[in-house]
Amino acid sequence: MRYLDKKQRSKIGYNYIMEKLQILSPYGRKNLQNLKPYLPGEEGELAREHKRIETVTDLCLDRKLLTELELFLMKIKDVENTCLGCLKGKVLDEVELYEIKVQCMTIEGIRKLLKNYSIPDITLTPVEEIIRLLDPGRDGLPTYHIYSAYSEKLEDIRKRKKEIEERIYSTHSHEETVELKKERLTIVVEETNEELEVRKNLSSNLSPLMNDLVCNIATLGKIDLLLAKGKLCNIYKLKQPGINMKNTIEATKLINPEVKDMVEGSGLEYTPIDIKLSKGSTIITGANMGGKTVALKTITLNVFLFQMGFYPLGEDVTMPLFHFIDFISDDMQDIKKGLSTFGAEMMKLKEIMIFLHRGQGFIALDEFARGTNPYEGQKIAKSLGEYLHGFESISLMATHYDGVVDEKMAHYQVVGLRDVDFESLKRKIDLNKRDSIEILQKYMNYQLERCEGYEAPKDALNITMLLGIHEDFTKHILRNYKGEG
């Protein structure tokens, strides 16, 4: 898929957010299921969507209004097929007529609530005419029956039905009851026939009005999804992002809710990410356990959210629309099909290269060529960095190989353990060996920092030492480091 496949979407934390969205109606759910990414060239439309989200986000701050809207949306049932049937000339039954009446009353309710808000391109067409047809007595009740007011004949039949019913109740003779019930049966048949006539008339009167209702159904779906987006904006205090045509991404305090909730759930502090990316390759290096993968997922998630018409989860975000978005990591599905990690990465890369020549995309690569031998792996990763740098697409590579970055490419580092007082941290871990991983995570600085140098940090040794691996082994490592130096 050009914009991440299902598995990738779930992996970067997109599904986590979608599940958290408070969609309340079947139309909203349908709308979400059929959500399509905005394509390059549709920036104007995306801007209008942003405007809509802004309006709705404001509206969501009015708790009373929001609750009323939500109550209406929760009551909605899917009557689209009934409407389409009526349009095609089907005679509706009384339950269908009830559902249409109730839905139209809901629509009028929502229309009234929203009358002071102008949401661009969102208008509910009045359906008072439909309600008038389904509420001939103008009693305004959300119930329905084939009212006697529809036909004098029906009124007369029902009068007779009532009379015979009273006679049935007042008689004590079994034979008479049987006779009366026989008589009643003929009246019931008359009633059913006349009700059918009424329903036929009513359905044909409703038919031309059904187009309005079908349009409203689509609009209700949009309103539901917009409200969910608005609530999301309020939860994360999101601001309207900028749309740029310059092929650069700028963002501060980007977050990934799935990771954030997990980190905070285990009592640790979550670090948002600041980043600036332009066309060509950007390399992220950093310590093991330093959250390079999380950084990649967070950025990809937000690029994708933006493309799908959501506000990215960050402050001061501007980005363009891409022709494609992809994410290569070593736990791709192809591995299950028998390809090695490296083989799977290469197959995926082959696919991406086709897109690379066709348009501007966003590609995230997590530890590319990690699965092959480090000597070749480093060269392949470096070559890929150089190769991707020649394209209009934005490529973001996380690697722990040294020497992948060159002077032309942007380089980010996860701060990692750089600023930590190593000795004091080691003492802390020594004192509480069982929690070594948690302590290490607590002191690890997950922030991304733009850096001028080209070297990857060498935190692996530090981490080995901190985690309390046997000293003899550490000595061996140190000896080998010196040998190289």
Partner 1 sequence: MKLHKLIEGYNTISIIGMEKNVGKTTVLNSILKEVRGKTTLGLTSIGRDGEDRDRVTYTHKPKIWVEKNTVLATAKEALLNSDITRDILETTGISTPMGEVVIVRALTGGYVDLAGPSISSQVSSVRDKMISYGADLIIVDGALGRMGTIYIDEGSAAILSTGASLASNMYEVVEKTSHRINLLQLKRIDNTTLKRYLDYENGERVVYLGTDNKKLNIDSVLETDRLIVDELDNSHTHIFIRGAVVASLIERLIKNRHKFEELTVVATDGTKFFIDSNLIKKAGLCGIKFRVCNEIGLIGLTCNPVSPFGYEFDASIFKGELKKITQLPVIDVIGG
> Which residue lies nearer to partner 1 by CB, 155 or 331?
155
Please name the residues in contact with 110: beta carbons below 8 A apart, sequence gap of 6 or more.
Answer: 69, 72, 73, 124, 220, 223
Q: How far is the CB of 338 from partner 1 (least distance, A)?
A: 33
Distance separating alpha carbons of residues 130 and 102, to the nearest angstrom: 10
Q: How far is the CB of 95 from partner 1 (least distance, A)?
A: 5
Please name the residues in contact with 288: beta carbons below 8 A apart, sequence gap of 6 or more.
Answer: 400, 459, 460, 463
> Which residue lies nearer to partner 1 by CB, 158 or 253?
158
Give, in degrees to the nearest 5, the angle at Cα 349 between 253 and 360. Answer: 55
> Which residue lies nearer to partner 1 by CB, 147 or 270?
147
Q: How far is the CB of 166 from partner 1 (least distance, A)?
A: 9
* DSSP state string for 71-140: HHHHH----HHHHHHHHTTPPP-HHHHHHHHHHHHHHHHHHHHTTT---TT--PPP-HHHHHHH-TT---
Report the DSSP pairing between strands 273-277 and 394-398: unpaired
Please name the residues in contact with 194: beta carbons below 8 A apart, sequence gap of 6 or more.
Answer: 151, 153, 154, 157
- Extract the runs of DSSP E, i.e. beta strands, from 323-458: 324-328, 361-366, 394-398, 410-416, 445-450
Beta partners for residue 249, in sequence order: 277
Q: How far is CA 42 from CA 4, 38, 203, 298, in A?
A: 19, 6, 40, 24
> Which residue lies nearer to partner 1 by CB, 168 or 243?
168
Which residues are at the interface with partner 1 (CB under 8 A)? 77, 93-95, 98-99, 143-146, 158, 161-162, 165, 168-169, 185, 188, 191-192
> Which residue lies nearer to partner 1 by CB, 145 or 470?
145
CB atoms within 10 A of CB 353: 13
Q: How far is the CB of 82 from partner 1 (least distance, A)?
A: 11
> Which residue lies nearer to partner 1 by CB, 64 or 145?
145
Q: Phi first, then psi: what are they for 405, rounded to 5°?
A: -80, 140
- Extract the runs of DSSP E, i.e. beta strands, from 262-418: 273-277, 280-285, 315-319, 324-328, 361-366, 394-398, 410-416
> Which residue lies nearer to partner 1 by CB, 177 or 248?
177
Distance separating alpha carbons of residues 126 and 154, to the nearest angstrom: 30
> Which residue lies nearer to partner 1 by CB, 127 or 154?
154
Q: How far is the CB of 145 from partner 1 (least distance, A)?
A: 4
Distance separating alpha carbons of residues 251 and 313, to the nearest angstrom: 9
> Which residue lies nearer to partner 1 by CB, 75 or 418?
75
Query: Using an 8 Å Cβ cutoff, are 378 and 407 in contact?
Result: no
> Which residue lies nearer to partner 1 by CB, 188 or 262?
188
- Name the nearest CA neighbour of 282 among 415, 448, 452, 411: 411
Q: How far is the CB of 143 from partner 1 (least distance, A)?
A: 5
Distance separating alpha carbons of residues 6 and 200, to the nearest angstrom: 46
Q: How far is the CB of 109 from partner 1 (least distance, A)?
A: 17
Q: How far is the CB of 190 from partner 1 (least distance, A)?
A: 11
Q: How far is the CB of 114 from partner 1 (least distance, A)?
A: 25
Q: How far is the CB of 332 from partner 1 (least distance, A)?
A: 33
Report the DSSP pairing between strands 394-398 and 280-285: parallel
